[in-house]
């Protein structure tokens, strides 16, 4: 991957030199090549550009793919949520001959957006963030605790997302919490992509992939778990009283642990004959009801 990325970068630099002009449409690669450090006035070298591109690709694809996997799983074990989000998408975009674009999905599918946010809160693809090492010296003090030099420090994102101080019913899967009054503040408290200066560089790519993929998949296909699955709406966790969640495996991101056993779904082409643009009123009513319920969450 490193060699492949390096070759592409070198090829682009050579093409610009030979043509004497840059591409008409400036993409992220050209932005990296042209970028100049404001303090030193220097440009990024090949090694730095390779590193940034690979971080962007992996950060934007691995988090997105696992987020979509968990979201589809949650929809299949919460059929009422699945029904609402499918109704919203198919009523808003009933023409299967036209792909749903990112901007359309982001602005018109408010319940889908709420489902994605709740999925990222409930099962964050990066539950512990990337670690930082305490620098050499006397260590640091944090919340009354002494952390020695050389220790690895991580942010427990999963714990933040389940903190009852900030979330009502934190152990419940309730997409409506991201609709209605206070939704904007709650969205800012979802740290799947981290925050601040160290925020995930691939977050915008991930958002585009998630919205584009889920909106088109859920419009064009029906999903359900196979009969032999160990999970489903009626497979209840005795400790929580909610549908049992399949176990995960944490590498750089959190994905299904037993993918060969649990990573199956029955996928069928969807019948949209009952949907038309005249159904938009009904889906709007459903979204409004969801928003009103969100005020109580």
* Contact yes or no for 169/297 (Cβ under 8 A): yes
Calpha distance 222→220 (Å, rounded): 7
* Contact yes or no for 89/219 (Cβ under 8 A): yes
Beta-bridged to residue 236, according to DSSP, are 243
* CA distances (Å), origin 248, targets 99, 140, 254: 32, 33, 6
Calpha distance 216→68 (Å, rounded): 12
* CA distances (Å), origin 83, targets 91, 210, 212, 226: 12, 19, 19, 18
Q: Is residue 200 marked as binding?
A: yes
Nearest to 186 by CA among 124, 107, 84, 118: 118
Which parts are annotated binding residues?
200
Which parts are annotated binding residues for heme?
200
């Amino acid at each position: 991957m490193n060699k492949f990325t390096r070759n592409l970068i070198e090829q682009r630099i050579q093409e610009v030199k030979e043509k004497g002009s840059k591409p008409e449409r400036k993409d992220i690669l050209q932005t990296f090549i042209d970028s100049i450090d404001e303090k030193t006035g220097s440009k990024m070298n090949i090694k730095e550009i390779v590193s940034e591109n690979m971080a962007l690709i992996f950060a934007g694809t691995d988090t997105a793919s696992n987020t979509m996997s968990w979201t589809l799983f949650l929809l299949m074990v919460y059929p009422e949520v699945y029904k609402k989000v499918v109704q919203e998408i198919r009523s808003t975009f009933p023409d299967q001959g036209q792909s749903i674009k990112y901007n359309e999905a982001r602005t018109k599918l408010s319940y889908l957006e709420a489902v994605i946010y709740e999925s990222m809160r409930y099962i964050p693809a990066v539950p512990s963030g990337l670690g930082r090492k305490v620098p050499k010296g006397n260590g640091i003090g944090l919340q009354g605790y002494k952390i020695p030099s050389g220790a690895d420090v991580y942010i427990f994102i999963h714990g933040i997302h389940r903190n009852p101080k900030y979330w009502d019913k934190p152990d419940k899967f309730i997409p409506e919490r991201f609709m209605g009054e206070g939704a904007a503040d709650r969205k800012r408290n979802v740290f799947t992509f981290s925050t601040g200066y160290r925020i995930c560089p691939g977050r915008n790519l991930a958002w585009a992939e998630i919205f584009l993929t889920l909106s088109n998949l859920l419009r064009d296909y029906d999903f359900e778990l196979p009969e032999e699955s160990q999970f489903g709406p009626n497979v209840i966790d005795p400790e929580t009283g909610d549908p049992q969640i399949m176990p995960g495996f944490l590498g750089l991101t959190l994905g299904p642990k037993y993918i060969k056993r649990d990573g199956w779904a029955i996928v069928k082409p969807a019948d949209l004959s009952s949907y038309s643009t005249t159904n938009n009123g009904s889906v709007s009513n459903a979204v409004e009801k969801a928003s009103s319920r969100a005020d109580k969450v």
